[in-house]
């Protein structure tokens, strides 16, 4: 699998750490950034993973950039692509090329709060549970079949930074778990719904806020 990033690569690091286990079913063959000098490239290099920079500003059109990106991913032998803080909206041709093999992690419990500034919007809405979602990418923004979600409570006194930090911690747990399921061929997609194998969720597990 390959990882595409734009920034510091904290979720990339979670995938790198998971892949250090020899029993983990996915190996990172390439990390690509569209931002030169992104900190995540250093994380990959430190782990001995091949890196590449494909600056979207070097291309006159999005299609040309995505063609170059897809070519680099294919050349590296990637079968699955994980978007991890990749701050570009990809077009239909790219999504179709990697259909049901292109994953993204989003910092909200989709379908609520797609797009940007999710933590501020969650606080403004007064929700009591917030979290993150791993999903297959579709041409519509943050609207693909959901593979997994993790929820955290919104606590009294939370601000955007404290809530973001709490969500990020569970992002680092959720993404490797979801990638494992996809890599093992255990996720089936029917229309807009991803079906998971039974028995993976804790039976009867609940997260209630305020607590009972």
Q: DSSP assignment of 116-137, as one string?
A: S-HHHHHHHHT-SEEEEEEEE-
Question: Is 106 in the active site?
Answer: yes
Contact between 5 and 40 under an 8 Å Cβ cutoff? The reply is yes
Cα–Cα separations (whole angstroms), residue 68 to 29, 52, 101, 188: 17, 11, 18, 29
Secondary structure letter of residue 186 according to DSSP:
-
Instruction: Give the number of other CB atoms < 10 A from CB of residue 125.
Output: 11
Q: Which of 61, 106, 135, 172 is catalytic?
A: 106
Cα–Cα separations (whole angstroms), residue 194 to 7, 25, 114, 137, 144: 28, 20, 18, 12, 9
Run of H or E residues at 147? strand 146-153
Residues with a catalytic annotation lie at: 106
């Amino acid at each position: 699998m390959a990882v595409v990033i734009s920034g510091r690569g904290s979720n990339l690091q979670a995938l790198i750490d998971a892949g250090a286990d020899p029993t983990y079913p996915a190996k990172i063959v390439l990390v690509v950034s569209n931002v030169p000098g992104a900190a995540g490239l250093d994380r990959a290099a430190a782990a001995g993973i091949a890196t590449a920079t494909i600056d979207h500003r070097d291309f006159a059109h999005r299609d040309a950039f995505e063609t170059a990106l897809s070519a680099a991913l294919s050349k590296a032998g990637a079968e699955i692509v994980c978007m991890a803080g990749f701050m570009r909206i990809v077009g239909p041709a790219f999504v179709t090329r990697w259909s049901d093999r292109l994953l993204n992690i989003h910092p909200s419990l989709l379908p609520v709060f797609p797009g940007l500034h999710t933590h501020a919007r969650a606080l403004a809405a007064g929700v009591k549970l917030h979290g993150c979602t791993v999903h297959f990418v579709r041409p519509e923004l943050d609207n693909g079949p959901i593979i997994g979600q993790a929820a955290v409570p919104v606590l009294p006194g939370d601000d955007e930074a404290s809530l973001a930090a709490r969500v990020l911690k569970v992002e680092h747990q959720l993404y490797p778990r979801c990638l494992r399921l996809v890599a093992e061929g255990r996720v089936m997609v029917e229309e807009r719904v991803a079906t998971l194998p039974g028995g993976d969720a804790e039976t009867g597990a609940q997260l209630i806020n305020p607590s009972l």
